[in-house]
Amino acid sequence: MLKTLLTGAAALAISTTIAGAQTIGFSQIGSESGWRAAETTLTKQQAEERGIDLKFSDAQQKQENQIAAVRSFVAQGVDAILLAPVVATGWDAVLEEAKEAEIPVVLLDRQVDSSDDLYLTAVGSDLVHEGSVAGQWLVDTVAGEECRVVELQGTTGSSPAIDRKTGFEQAIADHGNIEIVRSQTGDFTRSRGKEVMESFLQAENGGADICALYAHNDDMAVGAIQAIKEAGLKPGEDILVVSIDAVPDIFLAMAAGEANATVELTPNMAGPAFDALKAYMTDGTMPEKFIQTESKLYTQADDPQGEYDRRKGLGY
Ligand code: AHR
């Protein structure tokens, strides 16, 4: 269908757009985490640097707000739409509407269950791989020792919560010494991460029966670290902590010996998205359906204080 965007009147519309400033709508999930804040900041910065008029909408974690925002962008006749979808399902109708209006949609950081002909491209990491990098770190670190793991999941129904769980489980599958004994959502927030960890600690002999925490993002890990300390235990030693994102605060925790490892998710999803849109709008270059960003593992051996210093001013 995307090729059809370049035919006839649509091609004329695109070349007209390139001549003037582009207007791009961005439906953001909310501000549940430090990573999300950085993605918002960087998207606004990238838009400004490129002279793009960015129409920003904060959905406050609600899919219905995102659907309304996308509909409003379509009604306004924007040139393109960036969508960071809070959950994976329920997007078909609104994506069809954008397609009907010949407005390309780029997904940022999370995936949808819809057919991939309903969007131009998706920029993000391999979320299953992120989970498996975290799981492999634990496999290597415990080296055959018994390890009872508690898991803080991300937002229920979101692609990172689903895929990071799958990836971690795949990595530990052949290692009978490692077992996930409790798993619950902490909704990607620091406060819920702390609350849920408190309940895990209570249920697991004050934490004495927990060997490791796997959190689907760093913010939940930071909240959980606080709960572990309040329970009189040493995070990073009594309970290993591995999570995902690589936000500045997890590097501070790593520098203090209170977290052990994190898998990086770049918050600059907008740069590659705008590049893909520019090429598409200039001469119809079709991007790959998935533009993959890197997933690098950081441990306490990777200069956490330096990583904190390098990241702290980047909008997290
Ligand atoms: O979709 C990416 C995830 O969303 C980040 O890992 C998490 O911090 C955010 O809330």
Q: What is the mean pLDDT of the chain?
A: 94
Tens of pLDDT, residues 178-201? 999 999 999 999 999 999 999 999
Same domain, 260 and 210: yes
Cα torsion angle, 213, 217, 221, 223, sign: negative
Same domain, 307 and 175: yes
Same domain, 118 and 213: no
Q: Domain range for residue 112?
A: 21-125+267-285
Cα 184 to middle of ligand 1, angstroms: 16
Q: Over 70: is that where the pLDDT of 18 sits?
A: no
Tens of pLDDT, residues 110-162? 999 999 999 999 999 999 999 999 999 999 999 999 999 999 999 999 999 99
Domain annotation covers residue 316: no
Ligand 1: which of 156, 217, 316 to mutate, most ligand atoms within 8 Å of CB?
A: 217
Give the residue with greater pLDDT, 19 vs 211.
211
Residue 307's closest CA among 244, 270, 272, 264? 264
CATH number at residue 70: 3.40.50.2300
- Give 91's pLDDT tier (boundaries 50, 70, 90): very high
Domain annotation covers residue 14: no
The number of domains in the chain is 2
| pLDDT for the residue numbered 95 | 98
Q: Over 60: is that where the pLDDT of 8 sits?
A: no
Q: Over 80: is that where the pLDDT of 7 sits?
A: no
Residues with Cβ within 8 Å of residue 303, at least 6 apart in sequence: none
Ligand 1 surroundings by CB, under 6 angstroms = 32-33, 35-36, 109-110, 160, 188, 217, 219, 244-245, 265
Tens of pLDDT, residues 257-284? 999 999 999 999 999 999 999 999 999 9
Q: Are 163 and 124 in contact (CB under 8 A)?
A: no
Ligand 1: which of 108, 125, 188 to mutate, most ligand atoms within 8 Å of CB?
A: 188
Same domain, 307 and 159: yes
Cα 35 to middle of ligand 1, angstroms: 6
Give the residue with greater pLDDT, 46 vs 14.
46
Cα 145 to middle of ligand 1, angstroms: 31
Same domain, 170 and 249: yes
- Taking CA atoms, 207 is separated from 113, 154, 177, 191, 271, in Å, by 37, 21, 18, 19, 42
Ligand 1: which of 27, 31, 32, 36 to mutate, most ligand atoms within 8 Å of CB?
A: 36
Domain annotation covers residue 7: no
Atom number of ligand 1 nearest to Cα 109: 1
CA distance 244 to 191: 17
Burial of 306 (0-12, 13-18, 19+ CB in 10 A): exposed
| φ, ψ of residue 112 in degrees (nearest 5) | -120, 160
| pLDDT for the residue numbered 16 | 41
Residue 45's closest CA among 34, 58, 56, 61? 56
- Give 20's pLDDT tier (boundaries 50, 70, 90): low
Task: Tell me which of 10-19, 222-231, 264-273 is least confident.
Answer: 10-19
